Amino acid sequence: MLNFFLRRSIFMFGTLFALLILTFVISHVAPGDPAVLAAGPDATKEMVETVRKEYGLDKPLPLQFLVYAGNILQGDFGHSIFSGREVADDLMRYFPATFELVVFSIFIAVLLGVPLGVLSAVKKNTWIDHFIRIFSASGVGVPMFWLGMLLQFYFGLHLGWLPLGGQLAIMTDPPAPITHLLIIDSLLRLQFDVALEALQHILLPAVTLCFPALASIIRVNRAEMLETLNEDYITNSKAQGISTLRIVGLYALRNAMLPTLAMIGLRFGWMLGGTVLVESVFDFPGVGLYAVQTAVSSDFEPIMAVTLLLGFFFMVANFIVDILYSLLDPRLQGK
C-alpha cells in the first residue's frame, strides 16, 4: 500500500512539473509577443523593451523557464493587468468560492445520481427506468450555460424564489474569514442567516454544474448495478431469503460503486472546467469567472495560474480516487 502511495505521488508531481512546462510553452512560445501584450495596446517601442527587460523576456528560453518555475514554487504567479493585483492574491480570493461550488455540486450529483441509478436498474424496463434514462441522456447534451440561463430566469426572475447571481446579496457582509469558505465560515461564526443566504446563492449554480455529472453517474451506476445483480452470489443471497433492500443496498451496491467512484473522479475534473461557464452565467466570483475575464482581455499570467491551479486540484482528486479505489479493491495495488 505504501509502495503504491509513493509511486502514485511521484507520478503526480511529475505530471505537475510537465504541466508547468506546458503552461510555460503556451505563454512564452505561442505567437504573439508576451512583452507587447504585457505592455498594453498603446505602448511605444521603448516601453515594450522596458517590459521585456523587466520580465526577463530577453533571456534565453530555458533560463526564462527556470525563473518562471522558481517564481511559481515561491507562490509568485505574476501580476494581473485586469484586476491590478498580484495573481496569487486573486487566486486566494476567488478559489474558495469555486471549491465550495464544485464540492457542493458533486455532493448533489452523488446523492441524486447513485439512488437514481440503483432505482433505474432495479426497475429495469419499467416507465421509471425509461424516464430516468431519458433524463440522463439529455444531461449529456444540454449546454450548461444555456441550462443555467433558463434556471436563472425561471427560478430567479419568474418565480423569484432564488437570487439571480453572485455569492451573497450586495448589502450582506461576509463573515470574518476562518477557512475562507463562505458557508463554512458563516456557520462557524454562528451567522446562520448569512449561511442560508449563501446556500440560496449557490444552489442554482451547483445544480447547473452537476447536471452532466449527474447524468453520467446515473448511467454508470445503472449499468454496473445491472451487471452485479446478475451475479451468482446475488441469486444465492436471494435464495437464502435475505431482504431485497439488504441485497441491493449492501451487497450489490458496494461492488457497483467502484466504477461509479472512478466516474466521479473523472467528472470532478469536468466540473472544474464547467465552473468557467457556470460562474460566468451566475456572476459567481470564483476562479472560472476570473479566468474568462482575464482571457478575454489577453491577460496572460492569471489564465496560466488558473490552469495550473485547476490542473493541480484535478490531479489531487484523481490521486484520492486512486487511493480509495485501491483500498476498496486490493487487487489493484499490485499494478
Partner 1 sequence: MTTKKHISLEELQVPSWVERNQSTIRQMKLYMHTFRRNSSAMLGLGIVIVFLITAAIGPWVVPYPEDAQGTIHLEIKLLPPSAAHWFGTDEVGDDVLTRVIIGARVSLKIGLIITGIAILIGVPLGLIAGLVGGRTDELIMRFTDVFLSVPGLILAIAIVGALGPGIQNAMLALSLVWWPGYVRLVQAKTLSLKNSIYVDAARSMGASNMRIVFVHILPNCSSPIVVKASMDMGLAILGAASLGFLGLGAQPPFPEWGAMISYGRNYLPDWWWYSFFPGMCIFLTVLGFNLMGDGLRDILDPRSRE
Question: Which residues contribute to the site for partner 1 (CB under 8 A)?
Answer: 14-16, 18-19, 21-23, 26-27, 30-32, 133, 137-138, 140-146, 149-150, 153, 157-158, 216, 219-220, 223, 259, 263, 269-270, 272-274, 276-277, 280, 291-292, 294-296, 298-300, 303-304, 306-307, 310-311, 314-315
Task: Identify which of residues 11 and 107 has a Cβ nearer to partner 1 in the complex.
Answer: 11
What minimum distance in Å lies between the beta carbon of 249 and partner 1?
22
Return d(Cα 269, Cα 320) in angstroms, integer: 13
Task: Identify which of residues 177 and 273 has a Cβ nearer to partner 1 in the complex.
Answer: 273
Q: Which residue has the cell 456557520?
A: 187
DSSP symbols for 88-140: HHHHHHHHHHHHHHHHHHHHHHHHHHHHHHHHHHHTTTSHHHHHHHHHHHHHH
For residue 120, which of 110, 135, 138, 106 has the smallest C-alpha distance? 135
Residue 49: count other Cβ atoms within 10 Å of its Cβ: 15
What minimum distance in Å lies between the beta carbon of 229 and partner 1?
16
For residue 5, which of 240, 319, 298 has the smallest C-alpha distance? 319
Task: Identify which of residues 5 and 319 has a Cβ nearer to partner 1 in the complex.
Answer: 319
AA identity, residue 170: I
Determine contact, residues 78/94, Cβ cutoff 8 Å. no
Task: Identify which of residues 198 and 264 has a Cβ nearer to partner 1 in the complex.
Answer: 264
Task: Identify which of residues 143 and 249 has a Cβ nearer to partner 1 in the complex.
Answer: 143
What minimum distance in Å lies between the beta carbon of 133 and partner 1?
8
How many CA atoms lie within 13 Å of 175's alpha carbon, on the beta-carbon side?
Answer: 22
Determine contact, residues 259/220, Cβ cutoff 8 Å. yes
What minimum distance in Å lies between the beta carbon of 70 and partner 1?
20
What minimum distance in Å lies between the beta carbon of 192 and partner 1?
32
Task: Identify which of residues 104 and 314 has a Cβ nearer to partner 1 in the complex.
Answer: 314
State the cell numbers at 293: 475575464
Task: Identify which of residues 2 and 159 has a Cβ nearer to partner 1 in the complex.
Answer: 159
What minimum distance in Å lies between the beta carbon of 114 and partner 1?
15
What minimum distance in Å lies between the beta carbon of 291 and partner 1?
6
DSSP symbols for 282-303: HT--SHHHHHHHHHHTT-HHHH
What minimum distance in Å lies between the beta carbon of 60 and partner 1?
20
What minimum distance in Å lies between the beta carbon of 191 and partner 1?
33
Task: Identify which of residues 186 and 222 has a Cβ nearer to partner 1 in the complex.
Answer: 222
Three-state SS for 281?
A: helix
CA-to-CA separations, 244 to 60, 118, 230, 239, in angstroms, rounded: 69, 12, 14, 11
Task: Identify which of residues 22 and 43 has a Cβ nearer to partner 1 in the complex.
Answer: 22
